[in-house]
Amino acid sequence: MPVSRSGKHKKKRKGPDGCLSSGSPVSAMGPEHPLECCAINRNWRDAHMAYIVVVRKAAGGFTAAVFLIDTWGVGLKDGFAHKGLDRISLDQLLAHAAGADELIDCPLTLAQELVYGGLEWARLHGFRTPAEAIRCLKILPAPPGEPDFSRFGGKDRKPILLGSLATVKKWLAPRIGSALKD
């Protein structure tokens, strides 16, 4: 918890969305903020985990949003934004965004399909999307029409849950009720 100059702990203030604020949010970015780049990790199809980086040019430098999409399980899993990046900081972010995997150019339409499709997939199956990921959507316009779920889920188009038995039970409990009780 942050400490004030008086040495007392201060409470973090919650933003209008009810979440703790971590600086100023990404404001809506339209055509006046040109797209600098859109990239995705090379092995996203095989790994079933996509790292998408969307960068726009803004008055104070570059604004980048990074989205993590789990195509087998939860859909849009996380997102974070960086504002006011200079070219060097942007290059460092792009070099480290996908970890050991290489980033390649990504068509904006694919990024929209995965991010917004992942968001709707998560909502459809009862997964909670972090507030920061929702705030990051302002950098990426929504695609026209209904979301396409053809890239999500297993062979039967249902989420594949990975984790401990306790984690899976916790997720399933509100969905199937007393059938899980030992």
Residue 133 lies in a domain: yes
Give me the count of residues in the chain. Answer: 182
pLDDT single digits (tens) 120-144: 988 988 888 889 999 999 999 888 8
Tokens standing for residue 35? 């797209």
Cβ(35)–Cβ(58) below 8 Å: no
Distance CA 69, CA 83 (A): 21
Residue 115 lies in a domain: yes
Q: Highest mean pLDDT range out of 21-25, 72-76, 97-101, 109-113?
A: 109-113
Residue type present at position 116: Y
Tokens standing for residue 99? 């970890």
Cβ(103)–Cβ(40) below 8 Å: yes
The residue behind tokens 């039970």 is 169
Task: Please choose, from the candidates 67, 43, 54, 69, the residue with its C-alpha nearest in 3D space to the C-alpha of residue 127.
Answer: 69
pLDDT single digits (tens) 77-91: 999 999 999 999 999
The count of domains in the chain is: 1
Residue 105 lies in a domain: yes
Task: Please choose, from the candidates 105, 109, 145, 142, the residue with its C-alpha nearest in 3D space to the C-alpha of residue 30.
Answer: 142
Task: Please choose, from the candidates 140, 164, 158, 133, the residue with its C-alpha nearest in 3D space to the C-alpha of residue 38.
Answer: 140
Residue 11 lies in a domain: no
Distance CA 59, CA 74 (A): 35
Mean pLDDT over all residues of the chain? Answer: 78
Residue-range definition of the domain harbouring residue 126: 35-180
Residue 176 lies in a domain: yes
Residue 25 lies in a domain: no
Residue 109 lies in a domain: yes
DSSP output for 107-127:
-HHHHHHHHHHHHHHHHHTTP
End-to-end CA distance of the chain: 39
Residue 101 lies in a domain: yes
Query: pTM of the predicted model, to two decimals?
Result: 0.73
